[in-house]
């Protein structure tokens, strides 16, 4: 298959607002050992892309400086032999960077075949959210059938994914969101209870309901939520942090952590080893892909914009105007 010499991409001209995302032309990257060159159909837009654009989340050493942590598309070239994928395969992939482009490199360990029957464009919404939710909620917090689960930012891409994965696991799901429309969307996605945090304190709703407290919490807010999360957890409860949009510093009484035997954890994915990403990919393939293929879970897409509108996509995300995922189509 012939590979062109250059591609269109979105660069970060300097740290700053959405306007620093500019369209440019670059040579098409060449796959190294265990890498796939993917002709990108679509790329997912994620909050870490915003942080990178602002100069707060630099790409790891050796990764592309272009934003974009997940793509879907077709394999155009492979680096090495006896890899799990071949030229022409339809895949989605978790990247360390470089997704905002017509072509991107992905390590084969973080690539997955697109689920049966799924639109290849929509598949770009899967890697970042499913890997993140699986690793934090299931691997680290061991969410089990019959437990109660609280996710903050329920209308986000992570939130709508977490709702559906937890329901597929047979759990009760409670969410927080910032408007009645977003709460309605969360309920439609499968949540049992949706709390508009602008009108109610989630800690009061969670603690005062018949099944007091929850077993697992996924938090991307931090700040004032941290102490209230601890109040909401049942004995042996688990709390996972994946972002701190409200700040990472809080004044907390840690005595309940000891008395209730709580576990507090968190993680980032971008800098993790290929071996860890391969383990997560294997679990997602075995458990989450069947949920998608039997209709228990589907990515909720807010909108699909052309790659050239990346700045607009970032504005929408920063203004919290979206429900589910924002995608960029090449």
Low-confidence ranges of the chain (pLDDT < 50): none
What are the structural domains, with CATH classification, of the chain? 6-126+299-329 (3.90.180.10), 130-266 (3.40.50.720)
- Which stretch of DSSP H or E encloses residue 229? helix 225-232
Whole-angstrom distance, CA of residue 257 vs CA of residue 254: 5
What element of type H or E holds 194?
A: strand 193-196
Predicted confidence at residue 83, as pLDDT, reads 87
Q: Which long-range contacts (CB under 8 A, 24 or more apart) does 174-180 make?
A: 174/148, 174/149, 174/150, 174/202, 174/205, 174/206, 174/214, 175/150, 175/151, 176/150, 176/151, 176/152, 176/202, 177/153, 178/320
pTM: 0.95
Distance, in Å, from the CA atom of 168 to the CA atom of 189, rounded to the nearest integer, reads 11
Which of 197, 195, 204 lies closest to 223, judged by CA?
197
Res 4: pLDDT: 83
CA torsion angle 304 118 93 134 (round to 10): 100
For the record, the structure tokens of 88 come out as 């022409």
Alpha carbon distance 130, 126 (integer Å): 6
């Amino acid at each position: 298959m012939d590979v062109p010499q250059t591609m269109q991409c979105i660069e970060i001209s300097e740290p700053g607002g959405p306007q620093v995302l500019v369209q440019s032309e670059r040579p098409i990257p060449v796959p190294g050992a265990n890498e796939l060159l993917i002709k990108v159909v679509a790329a997912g837009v994620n909050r870490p892309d915003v942080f990178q654009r602002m100069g707060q989340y630099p790409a790891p050493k050796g990764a592309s400086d272009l934003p974009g942590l997940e793509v879907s598309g077709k394999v155009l070239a492979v680096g090495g032999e006896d890899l799990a994928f071949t030229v022409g395969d339809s895949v989605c992939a978790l990247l360390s960077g470089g997704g905002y482009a017509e072509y991107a490199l992905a390590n084969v360990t973080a690539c997955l075949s697109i689920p049966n029957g799924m639109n290849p464009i929509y598949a770009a919404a899967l890697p970042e959210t499913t890997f993140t939710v699986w690793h934090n909620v299931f691997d680290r917090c061991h969410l089990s059938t019959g437990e109660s689960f609280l996710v903050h930012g329920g209308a986000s891409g992570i939130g709508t994914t977490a709702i559906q994965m937890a329901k597929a696991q047979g759990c009760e799901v409670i969410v927080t969101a910032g408007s009645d429309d977003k709460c309605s969307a969360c309920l439609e996605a499968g949540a049992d209870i949706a709390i508009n945090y602008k009108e109610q304190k989630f800690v009061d709703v969670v603690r005062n309901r018949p099944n007091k407290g929850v077993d697992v919490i996924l938090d991307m807010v931090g700040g004032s939520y941290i102490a209230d999360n601890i109040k909401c957890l049942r004995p042996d409860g688990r709390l996972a942090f994946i972002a701190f949009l409200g700040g990472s510093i809080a004044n907390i009484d840690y005595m309940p952590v000891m008395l209730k035997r709580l576990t507090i954890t968190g993680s980032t994915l971008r800098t993790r080893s290929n071996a860890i990403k391969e383990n997560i990919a294997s679990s997602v393939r075995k458990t989450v892909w069947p949920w998608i293929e039997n209709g228990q879970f589907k990515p909720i897409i807010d909108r699909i914009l052309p790659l050239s509108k990346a700045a607009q996509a970032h504005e929408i995300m920063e203004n919290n105007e979206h429900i589910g995922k924002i995608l960029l189509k090449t």
